[in-house]
Structures are given as C-alpha cells and as structure tokens.
Chains A and B, each alone.
Chain A
C-alpha cells in the first residue's frame, strides 16, 4: 500500500505543476470513468511528430491525478512513436503482462505505479490518463496537427 501511495505519487496528486490549461492546445480530450466519476481533460501540443507540451485538468482520486501528471512528465519531448511504445508498456505493466525490468525502465517515473497491478479495483484509475492520450494520438494520425483552431491565423 505504501508502495502505491508513495511520496512521488502523493506529491503529483496533490500539487501537480502539470495541472493547468495550455494556451493553444492542438488536442483536448476528455477521459472519464463513469463508475467513479473521475474526469480528466488532457491537452496536447505537437511540434511535428514530437509532443511539445501537455497538461491536464479535472478531478479524481490520487492515483488517477498522479498518473496523469507523471505521464505528462514521461511523454513530454518524446516522438509520437516513442510515446505509443511507452503507453503500451505502461498498460502492460499495470495488467501484469510486462514485468521485465529493462523494458520497464523506459517508463521513467511512471514505474512508481507498478504496484497498482496488485489493486484490481484501482487499475482503471491508473489507466485513465493513458487511455485518453492513446485516443489523442490515434486522432493525430488521421487529423494531423491542429484539431483545435484557436491559434490559426496567429
């Protein structure tokens, strides 16, 4: 239990610097878990195929909030391809399908959620932000850059 509610996760869940609005996000996607009422809006900016910036806002439990925040730290600056690989690895870790230490290293701080795999009732909380960013990246493939046009013409 203390492994899950550790310092890193607590700090990110209670006082996250990633919990804010981006000025002109290219993508904004709502993720929610109807069962618990958790709602997270993820915002994302791409620069070519690099994730330039991300932020989130919304409400939910410590695990879902911290997971969103730490995910942003991990994915920022990565290419879409790298991000997809990391997302897949994270989901695999939570579902206990990936346990290889070397493979998990690429998750950086997000490895802190490893023990959520022992708490089946909380798996959905940990995955909420990751499934949401997955949706955004899928959209980016079809729509390309800039689905929100608040900055067009600037």
Chain B
C-alpha cells in the first residue's frame, strides 16, 4: 500500500489537482464514507428511538451499532460511555458545564496546557469564573514540549480538572498524556483529553490511558462534518447532570419536574445527526481496513520527508520539536519578513492548501511570540509530491518578496 493508492479513494483529490495540506482543519472523505451516507438516505432513513415501525428500528440499530463500533475502536468498556455530540467543541463544553460547574469551588484549580485549542480553553475560563476556582497553565520548553517538571509543578492537590490536548493542532507535539493522567490521578484530579488531532493518526486506548474524558471530532478522521464524540468513564457520567435538555434524554416529564434517561441518552437531546454517525462508522471501518500500522508507516515516512525538506529552506522559521518521536503530522512555519496570510494566498495560487492564522490557539502563539503562522498538516492521502509542491511554492513566494526587502537593497 502507498499513498498514491490511498489517494484514489478520495474523489475531491482526484478531481482537483491540489496539494491538500490542511487535514488538521478537516480531512477529505473517501468514497466509502460518502457512499455510506448516500446509502443511509436511500435505504434506512428514519428517526432513531422514535418509531415502532421497522424502518425506525433499523435506523436505531445502525445508530446504536455505530456507538458500539466506536467503543470498540477506542477500547471503552461499555458502549454507554460513548456520547454523540456535534463536534469536539460541544463535547468539551458538555464536560465543562455538566462536570466542571458542579464539581469546582473556590480554592480549586483547573490546569490546562498552553497548547490547548480555544475549545478546551474558553469554556474553562467561563466555568472557573462562575465557580470562583482558578485557571493555570503548563508551559512549554524550547523544544515546544511540556517538560515533566512543569507537569509536576502545576498539578497540585488543589487541581480538580486537567485539560490536555493529545497532539497540538499548531505544533504537532505529541504530549505525554499517559504521564499527565497518572500524575493528575495521584493528586485526585480528573483529566479531559482532546484527541481531535491524534485519533486520525494513532490508536487510542482509553483504558490504557486511563482517561476520565476523551473527545474528538469525526470530520478530522474522514467522517462527515457535524459529528463529535465524548468518551467518559461510566461512573463519572452517571453522576453528571444533563447538558442539553429536550427530547429523547428524558424518562418522565411532569409539569414541574423531569426524570432523565440513563446513559447514553441522558446526554443526547433532540434528533441526532444520524447520517454523520453512519459516516463515522464507515470512516472507522476505513481506518481499520487500512490499519493504524500502515497509516503510521505512510505518515512517518511523509513527515520525515517534510521535516527534512522544509529544514533545508533557510528563509523559513519552523515551529516544531527537534524530537522526532514526539512529533505528529503538523508543521507550523513562517517565511521571515512575510506575513503568513500572504504566504497562504500565494501558495493557493500554486494549488497548495495550507492554513494561516492563529489556528484557534492565541495563547499558544503568544507564548512563542507570534501573531500567526502558516500550517501544513498531513494525512494518509498526501504524497511526497505534495511536499515537493509546497517547497517549490514556498521558494517562489520568497523570491517574489525578496527583491522588495530592505536588507536586500
């Protein structure tokens, strides 16, 4: 198997001669996922959990089977520990509001890494302010990693919740989540892991990690947009209050009071995005079919090549760890003296899609002293040719600006 074979499964990449290097924002979808959604609407569409007729029951069973598939995929003990949401952001808000709000009080601490995406940061600002608890951060060293001493310094017996991204969406740094969880548990804190940037690339085992909560979005792992997952340990989820209220999350509703449904329905109010759930199931099948081992092999080779080729460009500043084993397929960079928005616009002209901006991580960028960066992020359908296109386009961009640079006059 090579990336050229994989790429054939992605109609958008076949139709457009582009180098799509923005999978950290959203991945492209293979034909198998696209067909699964079509198939659902052509053969199984009904509202799950509602009807006594067979079509609705079939829809219910597809919906619930996918829940089971996800539980198995991340090695959760029970399928009720899998809650569907609209994205990782909603999953994290659920934890912040339904767990954080009820369990934090004055004197308690929430500890995050400075690498967090705004979605695992802004909710905690709101919740710590509401509860009178404090918010503190684990900072990085010069290698763009969070050192062990920092973990041990910031997580204290006052810490009640730790939020940590598994892989940074800006730097690609792989955090030592297992160590953080172990240390947090020793101090009596629960840990919320943001696996949005890791699960597309590496096997997640929630029991091995011993994560209390773990969230991800489907769309970054080849599933449709609009579907997210929250994993939570059953004993913790059971004690939590519901987040959104409405249909399907209740048992009995009286004029003044309501009793709530057991897990997982307690956290799934209203009609769910069943087509996206179906698509997520197909994406998991696609990943399992390729095998994480093969995915890793392809991606490691590509990342080695990208690191090597980009490091040759002396006009680039690269924001990545020198420790290869702690790096996943995201590279942030800037061309010295040229604004990343200009770089991204000009790269687009050469058919190279990269993101520019603050990547929903303003505190992180501030901590490394920049307003914005360009970011190239890779996935299984990317080829060495894509990296070559990126490098060529960067050289041309630099040349275009170089003659106007003052130091060159």
Residue numbers of A with Cβ under 8 A of B are 1, 4-5, 10-11, 13-15, 35-38, 59-63, 119, 121-122, 125
Complex contact B404–A37 (CB within 8 A): no
Complex contact A10–B404 (CB within 8 A): yes
Tell me which residues from 359 to 409 in chain B have a Cβ below 8 Å from any Cβ of chain A. Answer: 371-372, 400-401, 404-406
CB contact under 8 A between A36 and B371, given known A5-B346, A62-B339: yes
The interface size of chain B toward A, counting residues with CB under 8 Å, comes to 19
Complex contact A61–B404 (CB within 8 A): no
Q: How far is the CA of A129 from the CA of B340 in the complex (A)?
A: 19
Complex contact B371–A61 (CB within 8 A): no
Report A-chain residues with C-beta under 8 Å of the C-beta of B371.
Answer: 36-38, 59
26 contacts between A and B (CB under 8 A): A1-B345, A1-B349, A4-B345, A5-B346, A10-B400, A10-B404, A11-B404, A13-B404, A14-B406, A15-B404, A36-B341, A36-B356, A36-B358, A36-B371, A36-B372, A37-B371, A59-B371, A61-B340, A61-B341, A62-B338, A62-B339, A62-B401, A63-B342, A119-B345, A121-B345, A125-B341
Q: How far apart are B407's CB and chain A's nearest CB, in angstroms?
A: 11
Interface residue B188 (Cβ < 8 Å from any Cβ of A): no
Residue numbers of B with Cβ under 8 A of A are 338-342, 345-346, 348-349, 356-358, 371-372, 400-401, 404-406
Q: Which of A37, A62, A125 contacts B358 (CB 8 A)?
A: A37
Report A-chain residues with C-beta under 8 Å of the C-beta of B400.
Answer: 5, 10
Q: How far is the CA of A37 from the CA of B371 in the complex (A)?
A: 6
Report B-chain residues with C-beta under 8 Å of the C-beta of A14.
Answer: 401, 404-406
Report A-chain residues with C-beta under 8 Å of the C-beta of B348.
Answer: 1
Q: How far apart are B84's CB and chain A's nearest CB, in angstroms?
A: 30
Q: How far is the CA of A142 from the CA of B261 in the complex (A)?
A: 60
Q: Which of B338, B339, B349, B406 contacts A15 (CB 8 A)?
A: B406
Q: Nearest CB to that of A1 among chain B residues?
A: B349
Q: How far apart are B395's CB and chain A's nearest CB, in angstroms?
A: 16
Q: Nearest CB to that of A12 among chain B residues?
A: B404
